[in-house]
Structure 1
Amino acid sequence: MSDQNPHIDSSRFIHLLHQDGDKAFELLFKLYYDKLLHLAKYYLNSTEDAEEIVQDVFIKLWERRRNITALNNSYLFTITKNACLDHLKHRSVVQKKSKEHYERQLADPLRFIQNETASLILEKELDEKIQESIAALPDKQREVFTKSRLEGKKNMEIAQELKISKRTVDTHITLALKAMRLQLKEFLMFML
């Protein structure tokens, strides 16, 4: 080969890489990019990952260009192969962690079911306590409260239906809520 186009394993090319790195590096890139990409695709089965690996290989070569004392085909193929194997190892670790995370997530629904069962029990107990506290209200308060909160009627409707003032309805509801808060106080503290 003429001096115009040196072999990459010649001392002249190494000297060129040290002195005029841009020109030598461009030549190296043109000669080997496609070959290294083909090798990386073989290992990784992904064009995108292979391109990234080969770019990283060239970046490392550029960063170390002043320290390179010998450079040949096998060196370039070896560092590309090693980069691919490192990538595969990293991907394997990530997949393992993802699998472990997925398995932990599968275990969570069991805890959710247990928590849901506990919630249902608490909900049932709360409902029973509410029913007991409503039953303990004086008759008129219970009637007004039931129409307001359980039947969803407006205070004015209740007043007209029971032939009492709206203010009396408001008072009955206020007293009923106060009495129920007292009755449910311990249960509500437990819930918080």
Structure 2
Amino acid sequence: MPDLSLNIDSPQFIELIEKDASKAFELLFKLYYDKLFHLAKYYINHDSDAEELVQDVFLKLWERRYGVTHLNNSYLFTITKNACMDYLRHKKVVMQKSRLLYDKAMTDPMRFLHNETASKVLENELALKISESIAALPKKQREVFVKSRIDGKKNGEIAKEMNISKRTVDTHISLALKSMRLQLKDFLTLFL
């Protein structure tokens, strides 16, 4: 069992690192893990992230074990604090990028057209809304509009068939389109 009373900034501890690095590392871990964990948790406020960060600190210490000439409390706390600051800066950048991507996706009027299922839902909603707006037209306008736009008849044919002037057919179609544009304005803005 390692001597837990050994001070890490003493020459004996540095000598222990040189002679038996694994024993020194085990001692260092037992002496400082909890302290460094609490420091990291103070900054990060999330247990698993704080644990991972402290483990990274010990990993860096292990990787640099042969170049150690002096070691003290201040050094361990400073590298842990710096690791926390790096973590928080990285997290802030990630959050900002995520927010920008989210905002961009939500302001893209064509965002749902890239998804086949969403596109099909939109198509069905649009067809329903068009049917509703046609049904809401006055009877004569609706008849003229259906003959023109759905049946594909020319305005002159419609005029003869309904026994009205071509000018009246033009007016009914114009008014029907104006009414439908108002009712479909939410959908039309998606395609402009």
Would the TM-score normalized by the shorter structure come out above 0.5?
A: yes
The TM-score normalised by the length of structure 1 is 0.57
Deviations 1:16-74 (A, max 9, x none): 11220111000000000000000000000111111010000000000100011110000
1:6 aligns with 2:6: yes
Structure 1 counterpart of 2:101, which letter?
H
Secondary structure of residue in 2 paired with 1:6: coil
Structure 2 counterpart of 1:35, which letter?
K
Structure 1 counterpart of 2:27, which letter?
L
Residue 18 of structure 2 is matched in structure 1 by 18
Residue 40 of structure 2 is matched in structure 1 by 40
Q: In the superposition, relative to structure 1, how do residues 22 and 112 fare at CA in structure 2: closer, same or farther (>3 Å)?
A: closer
- C-alpha contact 2:4 2:27 (8 A) present in aligned 1: no
Residue 107 of structure 1 is matched in structure 2 by 107
The TM-score normalised by the length of structure 2 is 0.57
Residue 67 of structure 2 is matched in structure 1 by 67
Equivalenced residue count is 126
Cα separation, 1, equivalents of 2:39 and 2:45 = 10
1:132 aligns with 2:152: yes
Structure 1 moving runs of 4+ over 4 Å? 110-113
Deviation at 1:15, TM superposition (A): 1.7
Structure 2 counterpart of 1:21, which letter?
A
Larger Rg: 1
Residue 156 of structure 1 is matched in structure 2 by none
Residue 78 of structure 2 is matched in structure 1 by 78
Cα separation, 1, equivalents of 2:84 and 2:36 = 11
- C-alpha contact 2:105 2:111 (8 A) present in aligned 1: no
Two-structure CA RMSD over aligned residues (Å): 3.3
Cα separation, 2, equivalents of 1:22 and 1:108 = 56
Cα separation, 1, equivalents of 2:5 and 2:46 = 33
Deviation at 1:85, TM superposition (A): 0.3
Provide the identity percentage: 59
Cα separation, 1, equivalents of 2:93 and 2:11 = 41
Secondary structure of residue in 2 paired with 1:132: coil
Residue 50 of structure 1 is matched in structure 2 by 50
- C-alpha contact 2:16 2:24 (8 A) present in aligned 1: yes
Residue 170 of structure 2 is matched in structure 1 by none
Consecutive unaligned residues in structure 2, runs of 5 or more: 114-118, 132-147, 154-192
Consecutive unaligned residues in structure 1, runs of 5 or more: 134-192
Deviations 1:137-165 (A, max 9, x none): xxxxxxxxxxxxxxxxxxxxxxxxxxxxx
